[in-house]
Structure 1
Amino acid sequence: MTPAPSRRTVLGGALAALALTATAAPAEATPRTGTATWPTVFPLPDGWLPEGITIGGGPYAYMGSRAHGGVYRTDLRTGEGTVLHAGGTGLASIGLKLDDDGLLYVSGGAGGTARVIDSRSGEVLATHQLTRDAAPFINDVVLHRDRAWFTDSRDAVLYGVPRGRGGAVRALPLTGEWVQAPAGTNSANGLVATADGRGLIVVNAGRLYRVSLRTGHATVITLTGAPDVTNGDGLLRIGRTLYVVQNRLNKITAWTLDRTATTATLTRTITSPHFDVPTTTAHHHNRLYVVNARFSSPQTPETTFTGVGVPL
């Protein structure tokens, strides 16, 4: 594990960003370069294989690549984007979150890593080897208090990486009512912090669990209005509303959580003709934004990919 430095630290060996250009169709409803039209659909580079998206205070979305671990940045005002971080052979960027200090925390998938990337320069500032298990899949990440918490879809454990400073990674085994999927299939996926700050909500095989950050004890959240969250992927919480991206069902469901996050009531279902297996979501102003992973389509260097905005 490389200690997490401050923003001003420059580590040797960082990959230089490549000057790649998206070859997909121009962003919908963008009449000319630089015009702020806030398009509903915007392109990513062909073959990008996106899965994660994060948005900070500014109107910029950051999207990782399963193909090579790159990070693409799009101006949501225009739909125009550029490669921020090129990645490299054997790398993946799955889930990612942008911190207030401009650091991106990135899930490394089968590499078992978490990387910290400068969102301005694209430099890799730190790499944390979370696990050396034979077949991990570090999937998603949430920023909560002093740590970035990561799921491993192939193991019943969460990993807490210190934010913006040195320190040891914390491994939090999942116990209680947690049901781990058979070897070789995915369990833990998206996660968010609870409103009271005491735990995390994790989606796993169609169920939502509340996990204690003190003990790792997991409790199934009782659902009202639907029996499960089949194909649950990325999660987003705004206040006591939990948004669940149900990828292959091409929808986002909105749930109202009770005060203790032990029950959730379905209140709304969001769909769009532009959804094509959306995986994760982030919000900016009055919109939710998703990336289309297109898992049902061929995943080749020529496959086109897009991001989509829908009313919040």
Structure 2
Amino acid sequence: MHMTTRLLCLGASVLLAVTGQTGTAGARDLPDTYVVSRGPGILPEGITVARDGTVYVSSDGTGRLFRGHVSDSELRPFAARGIDDRTSTLGVHTDQRGRVHSVGGASLTVHDGGGRLLARRTAQDGPLGPADLNDLVITKDAVYATDWANPVIHRAEFRNGRLGPLRLWLDIRGAFPQFPAQYWLLNGIVADRAGETLLVASNGTEALWRVDTATRAVEQVQLGGESFGADGMVLRGRTLYAVLNYGAPSGVYIAELNDDLRTGVVRHRITGEPFDLPTTLARHGCRLYVVNSQLDDPPGEPPYTVSAIADPTCPQAG
């Protein structure tokens, strides 16, 4: 997930070279729109919804985090300590213990529910220069983070419950060596339940890439020739939810993948909703929560919002 404005500024030359508890019945009483902030310049970017319905949204414009609940249409600032020097926060996710992991610039931070800083790790420079962390995924063994400025994935290993150093783990260029290194533009990242397979989106290649975490082997996921340079993504079993905002009409795309996550078919395209440059999404119950970033026209216009829509894959939706 990242500042789509950066991608838009590159122009056409670039291409040439969580589960929850809320059921459908309860969803009828939930808001359709959530206000992240009414202050100026927030530009929301990332989102996660914890199992208990707690919502966290990141700000690309200020680096702040906001918190709320699926039952309340208004979010409020989350007092995350130790990130005052981070001017942009992008990917944000919670783990099974409710800890909040987020990335921005070269830093990965972990906070408890009260905003206390539990860990801060800094990514080393990549082959093209300083790291610009974009999105992250948490597995049982590690945290993996994509780098918008470098064609690499960073990894911090869990050691006896503690987060180790954030190290450069994989240079993805070998999977498509003829493609210009500066245009990989790595974005969303998700993992299967076992943490054995990563799916990594690349805006520049307009493709989805499968990474074996044991061998670090990389291959393109075959989706029937569809452009799939996703921004944020959610993987639930074999169902992949993604937000696209470049190379295809903006909206939510839902693909059904095969058992080994190597091929798939896009089953749903939700592009008619009044999204405002969507960047990513979260899933809770039978609802999808889509961030309206306004990154195509910064600093945007308050209020900054998240839209909630029905998940068409739910049995009740049929």
Shift of 1:132: 3.5
Aligned to 1:291: 291
Structure 1, gaps ≥5 residues long: 1-35
* Matching of residue 93 in structure 1 with residue 86 in structure 2: no
Query: Aligned ranges for residues 210-249 of structure 1 at < 5 Å?
Result: 210-224=210-224, 226-230=225-229, 232-248=230-246, 249=249
Kept in 2: contact 1:113–1:131 (CA 8 A) = no
Structure 2, gaps ≥5 residues long: 1-27, 312-318
Q: Which has the higher contact order (CA 8 A, sep 6+)?
A: 2
CA distance in 2, matches of 1:218, 1:147: 18
- In proportion to residue count, which structure has more helix? 2
* Matching of residue 55 in structure 1 with residue 49 in structure 2: yes
The code of the aligned residue for 2:63 comes to: G
TM-score normalised over the length of structure 2: 0.78
Query: Aligned ranges for residues 6-17 of structure 1 at < 5 Å?
Result: none
Kept in 2: contact 1:272–1:310 (CA 8 A) = no
Kept in 2: contact 1:41–1:274 (CA 8 A) = no
Query: Aligned ranges for residues 11-160 of structure 1 at < 5 Å?
Result: 37-45=29-37, 46=39, 47-85=41-79, 87-108=83-104, 111-118=105-112, 120-133=113-126, 134-160=129-155
Kept in 2: contact 1:180–1:187 (CA 8 A) = no
Kept in 2: contact 1:54–1:281 (CA 8 A) = yes
Change (3 A) 1:239 1:124: same
Kept in 2: contact 1:255–1:266 (CA 8 A) = yes
The code of the aligned residue for 1:286 comes to: C
Render the CA deviation track for 1:134-172: whole Å, top value 9, x for unaligned: 432100011112211100122222122234414343432
Render the CA deviation track for 1:42-90: whole Å, top value 9, x for unaligned: 1121321111101111112100111232110122112122111364244
Cα RMSD (Å): 2.2
Corresponding residue to 1:187 among 185, 188, 198: 185
Shift of 1:37: 3.6
The code of the aligned residue for 1:306 comes to: T
CA distance in 1, matches of 2:48, 2:74: 16
| Secondary structure at the counterpart of residue 38 of structure 1 | coil
Instruction: Give the stretch that moved more between structures: 83-92 or 285-294.
Output: 83-92
Shift of 1:105: 1.0
CA distance in 2, matches of 1:198, 1:77: 34
Query: Aligned ranges for residues 260-275 of structure 1 at < 5 Å?
Result: 260-275=260-275
Kept in 2: contact 1:68–1:89 (CA 8 A) = no
Aligned to 2:3: none
The code of the aligned residue for 2:169 comes to: L
Shift of 1:227: 2.3
The code of the aligned residue for 2:147 comes to: D
CA distance in 2, matches of 1:189, 1:233: 6
CA distance in 2, matches of 1:254, 1:157: 26
| Secondary structure at the counterpart of residue 222 of structure 1 | coil
Kept in 2: contact 1:54–1:63 (CA 8 A) = yes
CA distance in 2, matches of 1:220, 1:166: 30
Kept in 2: contact 1:253–1:269 (CA 8 A) = yes
Count of matched residue positions in the alignment of Structure 1 and Structure 2: 271
